[in-house]
Structure 1
Amino acid sequence: MVKDILVPVDDSPQAKAALEYALKEFPEAAITAIHVVHLPEGYWAAFARSEDELPGYKRVHSHARELLETTVQQASEHEHKMDTVVKTGDPAREIVDYAIEHGFDQIVIGSHGRKRAGRLLFGSVSEKVVRNAPMTVVVVHEE
């Protein structure tokens, strides 16, 4: 029985579909929504003493909080309470690390369903999560 589910969320319809899937298929599970802010690397990062000095830091974190508030509202439509968390860093790595550190049974993640060429060009957070997570990962495809 699945007790604890981590659902990565962003602005995409795929993430919304993944959350809907988790809420419908696992109504008794505790669900946590995670949003990972991908911070710039290289030039800007070299001059910042801390993350909050990076250009756009406050804006992206404000957006993340708004996004998670929308996610909580989506869960409340299913009469489900949900925890939320914002992390910074590489999205796939942060999702997997958070899931391991907090003992999640499962990750439910949305995917664009890109073909091989698209994955090679753009990479795939969901693919990296599937490859690296030691727990079950359900990928919800939305084209």
Structure 2
Amino acid sequence: MAATILVAFDESPQATAALHHALSTYDNATIRVLYVNDPWEWAGADGIDGVFYAEEAFERSQEVAEEVIATAEEIAREYDTEVTTESEVGAASETIVAYAEEHNVDHIVLGSHGRRGLERFLLGSVAERVVKRSPGSVTIIRDEPPDGDE
């Protein structure tokens, strides 16, 4: 039976490198790409005339999610590979781990920004929380994607 690989994808250079890694490393695997639409990222967005409108912010976040997923599918086509793509709303690390548990994921691949010191302490580390809570193994990619693939 083929392994199921989950790639957390947010279009950052690190996530892009993680997707390239998964596509080039796990030839016979089922690859699932997950974009987590984190409300903390869109809830503070500027609204119209400086007024925040939750419905508009959520709608815009859904549009962004569709764009990110389309980018992941485009990258997969470069490898002549079909991937399963999904977008879920929630806190990134918790949603990634819950998704992995619900879909019997064997391995998670995700990018890390490699923050250190105070910045890491204040912002936390999604990658670190996923590693600690993951039901299976995790590969962290900190490299940039191949030239021209940003």
- Fold conserved between structures, TM > 0.5: yes
TM class, shorter-chain normalised?
0.7 to 0.9
Conservation of the 8 A alpha-carbon contact between 1:112 and 1:142:
no
SS of 1:16 mapped into structure 2: helix
> Is residue 129 of structure 1 aligned with residue 139 of structure 2?
no
Report the number of matched residues: 134
Return the offset for 1:40: 3.9
Deviations 1:30-52 (A, max 9, x none): 101101111149x99xxxxxxxx
Deviations 1:37-82 (A, max 9, x none): 11149x99xxxxxxxx544101111111111011001001001000
Take 2:107 and 2:2, find their aligned partners in 1: how far apart are those partners?
7
Take 2:117 and 2:129, find their aligned partners in 1: how far apart are those partners?
14
Conservation of the 8 A alpha-carbon contact between 1:17 and 1:140:
yes
Take 2:14 and 2:58, find their aligned partners in 1: how far apart are those partners?
25
> Is residue 83 of structure 1 aligned with residue 84 of structure 2?
yes
Residue of structure 2 equivalent to 1:60:
61
Residue of structure 2 equivalent to 1:37:
37
Conservation of the 8 A alpha-carbon contact between 2:100 and 2:135:
no
Residue of structure 2 equivalent to 1:9:
9
Take 1:112 and 1:11, find their aligned partners in 2: how far apart are those partners?
12
Residue of structure 2 equivalent to 1:47:
none
The runs of 5 or more residues in structure 2 that have no matched partner are 45-53, 145-150
The runs of 5 or more residues in structure 1 that have no matched partner are 45-52
Take 1:40 and 1:127, find their aligned partners in 2: how far apart are those partners?
19
Return the offset for 1:14: 0.3
Return the offset for 1:116: 3.4
Q: TM-score, normalised by structure 1?
A: 0.86
Conservation of the 8 A alpha-carbon contact between 2:11 and 2:71:
no
Structure 1 runs (4+) greater than 4 angstroms displaced: none
Residue of structure 2 equivalent to 1:119:
120
Identical columns (%): 38
